[in-house]
Structure 1
Amino acid sequence: MTDSSDAPTPPEGIPDRVVAELNELTPDELRNTIIHAQELLQFQEESSSPIEPGPGEDIIRVTEHEGYTEVVKQYSCTEGCDDCPHGPYLYHVREEPRPEGGTHFHWTFLGKVVSDEE
């Protein structure tokens, strides 16, 4: 371990017990902790998304922005469609209040997502 007087100051908001545990970890353990923390953060962000696929839809990507959510999804028809899946298509989704209370999602279609391969 290095001299504790040279240790970086942790950001505000990290519990003291976590700081103490992190200070005791080896470099390999710290790297693994970072990977796990990033996975937890991604999992929590994905689980908190209210955007759910409908029947025949596959959500490719959900990206949160201030004021809206960017959603890329594609559709599959019933059997026998040679062009399936359709898309991917880009939408901006905003949560809007309803006059009677509660909220609903307003989907704005922006167009087909064109990949570099097309």
Structure 2
Amino acid sequence: MSDPHDEPEVPDTLPEALIQRIDSLELPELKAVLSYVERRIDALRVPIEEEIEATAAGEVLQIENYGVYALVRKHPPNPDGPGVNTDIVSLYHVHRESQPDGAESLHWAYLGDVHNSEQIRCDSCGARLDKNASVCPHCGNKHISQSETGE
């Protein structure tokens, strides 16, 4: 385990004057710089919806962007030939993932097939859910199903 008081390794790509200025900052100022840099990176990135559309195999039906991740419903590619399998709607959790070389890629986590595309809203966070879902994948809370609400 490294000593928390060790100086961080200085990247070769940053100008010495910038490193000196950053090193002179106190903790509150450093946190403000970090917040600004994170917002600046987000402003320069291709929006996650565009990356999903450009890289998804199959046909994207819906993207719900939650900032740090997105939920994606799509028809998967047809395993028997060209096109998509319109009989299936699959649900994915997608987020950006940093690679060791500093590059980013999308990480797709398959959550399952949606057999009934009718939706309700989570009582806790308001997210749209499959009407048969028992737990909200967004906030983890159980929601009241349509049958319990009398709808």
Q: TM-score, normalised by structure 1?
A: 0.48
Quick one: higher RCO (CA 8 Å, sep 6+), 1 or 2?
Answer: 1
**Greater per-residue strand proportion:** 1
